[in-house]
Structure 1
Amino acid sequence: MVIEAATLGAFSYLIQPMFDDVFIAGNQGQIVFIAVALALVFFARGLARLAHQSVITWQSEAATADLQTMLLAHLTKLDQGFFMLNAPGILIERVRGDSAALRKVFGSLITGLGRDGASVIVLFGVALWTDWQWTLIALLGLPLLGLPLLAIQRMIRRRSTESRLAAAESSNRLNEAFHGIATLQLTGSEAREVGRFAKIKRNFVRKATRAAIGKSAVPTLMDFGAAIGLALVLIYGGSQIIEGTRTVGQFMSFFTALGLLFDPLRRITALTAEWQSIIASLERTYALLQVQSKVTNPPPPHLPVPDRNHASVELRNVRFSYDTEPVLNDLSFFAPAGKTTAIVGPSGAGKTTVFGLLTRLADVDSGEVLIGGQDVRRMDLAALRKLFAVVSQDTALFNETIRDNIVMGVKGVSDAALQSALNAAHVDDFLPLLSNGVETLAGPRGSSLSGGQRQRVAIARALLRDAPILLLDEATSALDAKSEAFVQDALDRLAAGRTTLVIAHRLSTVRNADQIVVMDRGRVVEQGSHDALLDKGGAYARLYALQFGEQDQEQDQANSP
């Protein structure tokens, strides 16, 4: 960058002998020297620009990638409450869009301050060397720009922040549209969704345009200052040339240096506007990095995690809310080790929240969550989560091979262990139908597999974890009868010998549970076996009647031993 700036000074300096010695004095011996010197200046400038652009691009891309990786690593440690308040599309924009400001720091700020700053110093030196009075006259218009520049910079920062918020809203709308594309098509809502997106984009365009106009106003003001300075120099210096006290070569050298000087000076001034935009994005990035998880690893010494034979689950007087919305209200129940406990109740009763508290995806507001009689908040977080294997209705698969989706989170898996999990989960039943067997890509969000196949992959993953506690959240509710039979058989194998908690709306799937906990409005309203709860005629019996009808209920009771 310094070499590139020096070439500008050399070029403007060579203008004087070119005019005075060659064009006016007619010195033939200087023609070749001046021509070669000017050519070398441009060769050096081109090579210096290539070198500095290569280095700056590598540094800016590497720094941006590192920052995005740091943001993702930070976000993956935050609790579920944060993700309930921040949509995925907005977070994607904050990780990718806002962090891209770091690329501008290298591409614009460092390059501008380095190359253009050096250029200003070199060219200013040439101008002073040529005539210091002309230089001072040329700069007379610049002090008038101070207050307008400050006002514009404040406006740019505000508009840039608004623009980044609008960009995040746009990304979130796209994310929701693509994830729900089937629903949009089936309901004929494509035009409605496109209209909503167009409205968001119009808002973004309006805010981005305002920010861009503010940035453009800064170099425009510099042009106004330059116009005043150059006009004054032309009047004053032209008179001296006419009088013979200055040469044409001196004026052309000064005019060239000054003309070249205002260009980097304009870019440096524009950098102050660009810096306001960069600051707006970096402030949002910094704010994201300052978000602290409400779920943290406790300081040592940690309580030991229980083995499989003692992995009981208990909630004591638990209260929990998302933001200000209460979810659990004085919830208490006990699930014995090695037994199956079903949790049933109407939607919104807080059933899934229980699983989040057990695994410390969130922490209770008050009360205790105990595993093996020990408070989960005093256990090592990683060791606690290794106690659980989870199979849910919405199985999370990634666009990796089926093998990678199954072994994730488990190190050193042998081929024999993997094959055993594939067999037990009935995954090997459909592997021959796939192009590359277990090495087949599952597709984005597991889209290459059917619902039943995704569930079996999730069960194989849970089998491979061999965790003492199994959490099943509506694991078969979205499956057809044939797929459900396969999955239910795999789940039965998986639950054997483990403490199992089952969330189910279909009560037929929990009849054989050792105990059933009935929840409503965040608390336990009934607890007991299937038959005992039916005999009681309370909330569970009413739920059962809604699903099967009174006749089926009476027949079931008559057939009960």
Structure 2
Amino acid sequence: MAGWLWRDFIRKRAWWLAVALVLMTIEGAMLGAFSFLIQPLFDDVLIAGRAELVVWVGLAMAAVILLRGAARLSNRIITAHLAKKTRAEMQEHVLAHLLRLDLGFYQNHSPGHLIERVQGDSQAVHALLRGLITGVGRDGASLIGLLAVALYMDWLWTLIAVIGIPMLVMPMLALQRRIRAKSAQARRNAAEVSNRLDEVFHGISTIQLTGTEARESGRFHQVVEKHRRAATRTVIAQDAAPTVMDVAAALGFAMVITYGGMQIIDGDRTVGQFMAFFTAITLMFEPVRKLSALAAQWQNILASAERVYELLQIQPHITSPAPPHAPVPGRAACDIDIRGVHFAYGREPVLRGLDLRAEAGQTTAIVGPSGAGKTTVFALLARMVRPQEGQVLIGGQDTAQMDLAALRGLFSVVSQDTALFDDSIRDNILMGRPDVPDAELRAACEAAHVTEFTDQLPEGLDTRAGPRGSALSGGQRQRVAIARAILRDAPILLLDEATSALDARSEALVQAALERLAKGRTTLVIAHRLATVRKADRILVMDHGQVVETGTHAELLALGAHFARLHALQFADG
């Protein structure tokens, strides 16, 4: 795990890290220098009364303190920059990886858990650079410097002072294992908290309309309590490590004061030697405590790093095949063939030997009851999912042999749940295409009837759409999606219940825009409202994962079977 963090995120910044380590060493070593100056302060200045050394000892101590402060500040600036930069890089790396994963992955991992992985668990690399490495460098240098001074003053005193430390090895190892387990549990609980918040904020309208605020507060209280208990146990375990070291410190201090005090009384050692030693040992136990706490922090870092690493090991099942790729058909040749396709979500079969054909340049409607597999057809076409059996062909070419990006470039999609982002309406239409001329953008907006409402807004196209497009009405969101599809100018248009949630006026505007958009394109339409597919060149009726009827609107009504029954149910009142 440490090797992965070093190789992928830290090694590229090794030079700056080396500079920071030098500064940490200077900062830590100054404690040893300060304790060393205690001996001349007592023996030569305070006891012997050598006035000529007062200024020099004072200046030396001031220089040590100033140098330590300058090294500390410089080190903090460098490590803060390194830690923030590296954490941001890890977050970007994890998100880039997540964007490559298949829809099946997202069906099993909630948004809140993934947000915590990207934001919370990436804190591991920040803690590693900002806390752990800084602590090891600074406190390690302090420990070495102070230990050197203590040994210089009296090696036997030093041995007596640290005699209790070896007895703590086994308890400390057991404590580290406990910290790692508790840290991992706390991270999982934190993900549950994030997931619950995500669900509450996205479902706020439903919660308020159903009066379930108290219920949601209670559910949130439960997950917060689980996280609080796990996090508290982690903190207690981490804080126990320095306390265990205090046991060794207490034993060592009692023994060295007894033995050293007797030597001073007998005249074998000077007061200055003892005070320098005592200062070094006193200061030494502080970095020892910090290093033991850092050992606990390392377990916490490992728990988070392991979660990130496990996520990065998940590979997408749907990728571009090895070259050479099947050629992408031109606009006039985008006929669609689905042959003998079987597909299931888990153990639930959705498509059962589906055979389907849509002619290039025509509008083909797919209708049928809920659960018939209509939306799954769209996912298969764009290889968002892959069939267990059968083939999907476009222009006579197997889509599994096409370059994935080129394949998905064949499609424009307008669905009932239009995906808009908390950016300007302009950015939501352009979707990463800043090179589109203003005239072309304006034409697309006019064709999609977007200008009918944006021209009335103070900021026009630069008005923000709000989170998930919440600042716009349903009809406005659909028109933005249509303008996006017009600019995309893809040869195949997929319409998934694009007008089902709109009022009569909005539906008329959106329907008119869709009809203009569909001209010259291979268009597939999913619709529950049969009135919206009257003009389709061909209608496919699906039931239980198969096409059970094919024909025009009039032909299917005359057939008097599945389509006719669906039609009768919808128009029974009129």
TM range (shorter): over 0.9
Which is further off, 163-172 or 39-48?
Answer: 39-48
2: distance between equivalents of 1:26 and 1:438?
83
Secondary structure (helix, strand or coil) at the match of 2:464 reads coil
What letter is aligned with 2:212?
S
What letter is aligned with 2:151?
L
Once the two structures are superposed, residues 508-544 of structure 1 have per-residue CA deviations (whole angstroms, 9 ceiling, x without a partner) of 1112211111222222222222222222222222221
Match of 2:386 in 1: 363
Cα distance change of structure 1 residues 333 and 493 upon mapping to structure 2, 3 Å threshold: same
Match of 2:57 in 1: 34
Match of 1:281 in 2: 304
What letter is aligned with 1:12?
S
Residue 477 of structure 2 corresponds to residue 454 of structure 1: yes
**1:364 CA displacement:** 1.4
How high is the TM-score relative to the length of structure 1?
Answer: 0.96
Match of 2:314 in 1: 291
- Equivalent of 1:305, from 324, 328, 347? 328
What letter is aligned with 2:181?
R
Secondary structure (helix, strand or coil) at the match of 1:367 reads strand
Secondary structure (helix, strand or coil) at the match of 1:98 reads coil
Once the two structures are superposed, residues 161-203 of structure 1 have per-residue CA deviations (whole angstroms, 9 ceiling, x without a partner) of 1100100010010011111111111111111111100110000
Match of 1:215 in 2: 238
- Equivalent of 1:441, from 464, 468, 480? 464
2: distance between equivalents of 1:326 and 1:115?
61
Aligned-pair identity in percent equals: 60
Equivalent residues of 1:346, 1:519 under 8 A apart: yes
Match of 2:400 in 1: 377
Match of 2:35 in 1: 12
2: distance between equivalents of 1:213 and 1:452?
54
Once the two structures are superposed, residues 392-437 of structure 1 have per-residue CA deviations (whole angstroms, 9 ceiling, x without a partner) of 0111111112111111154621222112111110111111211211
Residue 165 of structure 2 corresponds to residue 142 of structure 1: yes
- Equivalent of 1:198, from 221, 237, 241? 221
1: distance between equivalents of 2:524 and 2:87?
44
Match of 2:14 in 1: none
What letter is aligned with 1:180?
G
Secondary structure (helix, strand or coil) at the match of 2:288 reads helix
Match of 1:467 in 2: 490
Superposed counterparts of 1:37-186, under 5 Å: 37-186=60-209
Match of 1:558 in 2: none
Once the two structures are superposed, residues 43-94 of structure 1 have per-residue CA deviations (whole angstroms, 9 ceiling, x without a partner) of 1111111110110010000000000000111111111111111111110010
Match of 1:345 in 2: 368
What letter is aligned with 2:394?
I
What letter is aligned with 1:358?
L
2: distance between equivalents of 1:18 and 1:335?
95
Secondary structure (helix, strand or coil) at the match of 1:53 reads helix
Secondary structure (helix, strand or coil) at the match of 1:315 reads strand
What letter is aligned with 1:301?
P
Match of 1:252 in 2: 275
How high is the TM-score relative to the length of structure 2?
Answer: 0.94
1: distance between equivalents of 2:245 and 2:347?
52
Residue 266 of structure 2 corresponds to residue 235 of structure 1: no
Match of 2:415 in 1: 392
Once the two structures are superposed, residues 413-467 of structure 1 have per-residue CA deviations (whole angstroms, 9 ceiling, x without a partner) of 1222112111110111111211211122111111121111110010000001111
Equivalent residues of 1:398, 1:443 under 8 A apart: yes
- Equivalent of 2:439, from 397, 409, 416? 416
2: distance between equivalents of 1:409 and 1:343?
31
What letter is aligned with 2:404?
L
2: distance between equivalents of 1:26 and 1:325?
92
1: distance between equivalents of 2:442 and 2:29?
68
Equivalent residues of 1:137, 1:232 under 8 A apart: yes
What letter is aligned with 2:115?
I
Gaps of 5+ in 1: 553-561
Match of 1:354 in 2: 377
2: distance between equivalents of 1:410 and 1:471?
21
2: distance between equivalents of 1:111 and 1:328?
57
1: distance between equivalents of 2:298 and 2:432?
42
Once the two structures are superposed, residues 224-252 of structure 1 have per-residue CA deviations (whole angstroms, 9 ceiling, x without a partner) of 11111111111111111111101111111
Equivalent residues of 1:410, 1:464 under 8 A apart: no
Superposed counterparts of 1:258-273, under 5 Å: 258-273=281-296
Equivalent residues of 1:397, 1:446 under 8 A apart: yes
Match of 2:558 in 1: 535
Residue 539 of structure 2 corresponds to residue 516 of structure 1: yes
Query: Once superposed, what is the RMSD of the aligned Cα atoms?
Result: 1.2
2: distance between equivalents of 1:478 and 1:485?
12
Secondary structure (helix, strand or coil) at the match of 1:337 reads coil
1: distance between equivalents of 2:146 and 2:82?
28
2: distance between equivalents of 1:97 and 1:527?
52
Match of 2:4 in 1: none
What letter is aligned with 2:463?
T
Residue 519 of structure 2 corresponds to residue 501 of structure 1: no
Secondary structure (helix, strand or coil) at the match of 2:122 reads helix
2: distance between equivalents of 1:329 and 1:128?
81
Secondary structure (helix, strand or coil) at the match of 2:37 reads helix
2: distance between equivalents of 1:132 and 1:212?
36
Secondary structure (helix, strand or coil) at the match of 1:516 reads strand
Secondary structure (helix, strand or coil) at the match of 1:36 reads helix
Match of 2:515 in 1: 492
2: distance between equivalents of 1:31 and 1:473?
87
**1:351 CA displacement:** 1.2
What letter is aligned with 2:435?
G
Equivalent residues of 1:305, 1:383 under 8 A apart: yes
What letter is aligned with 1:150?
L
Equivalent residues of 1:410, 1:465 under 8 A apart: no
What letter is aligned with 1:259?
T
2: distance between equivalents of 1:126 and 1:148?
29
What letter is aligned with 2:175?
I
2: distance between equivalents of 1:410 and 1:389?
15
1: distance between equivalents of 2:352 and 2:266?
96
Match of 1:559 in 2: none
**1:310 CA displacement:** 0.7
Gaps of 5+ in 2: 1-23
Secondary structure (helix, strand or coil) at the match of 2:26 reads helix
1: distance between equivalents of 2:241 and 2:507?
66
Secondary structure (helix, strand or coil) at the match of 1:519 reads strand
What letter is aligned with 1:400?
D
What letter is aligned with 1:469?
I
What letter is aligned with 1:135?
T
